[in-house]
Chain A
Amino acid sequence: GENVEQHPSTLSVQEGDSAVIKCTYSDSASNYFPWYKQELGKRPQLIIDIRSNVGEKKDQRIAVTLNKTAKHFSLHITETQPEDSAVYFCAAPDDKIIFGKGTRLHILP
Chain B
Amino acid sequence: DSGVTQTPKHLITATGQRVTLRCSPRSGDLSVYWYQQSLDQGLQFLIQYYNGEERAKGNILERFSAQQFPDLHSELNLSSLELGDSALYFCASSAPTGGEKLFFGSGTQLSVL
- Say yes or no: is B65 at the interface (Cβ < 8 Å to chain A): no
Chain B facing A: main interface SS: loop
A60 to B105 CA separation, bound complex (whole angstroms): 26
A44-B90, A89-B43 known; A97-B104 Cβ under 8 A: no
In the bound complex, do residue A96 and residue B100 qualify as a contact, i.e. CB atoms below 8 Å apart? Answer: no
Q: Which of B41, B42, B100, B103 contacts A97 (CB 8 A)?
A: B100
Interface residues of A in 84-106 (CB under 8 A from B): 89, 93, 95-102
Instruction: Name A's interface SS.
Output: loop
Q: In the bound complex, do residue B104 and residue A43 qualify as a contact, i.e. CB atoms below 8 Å apart? A: yes
Task: Determine the chain B residues whose CB is within 8 A of the CB of A34 once the complex forms.
Answer: 100-102
Within 8 Å by CB of B101, from A42, A49, A96, A100, lies A49
Contact between A96 and B58, CB atoms less than 8 A apart = yes
* Chain A residues engaging chain B, CB cutoff 8 angstroms: 32, 34, 36, 42-46, 49, 89, 93, 95-102
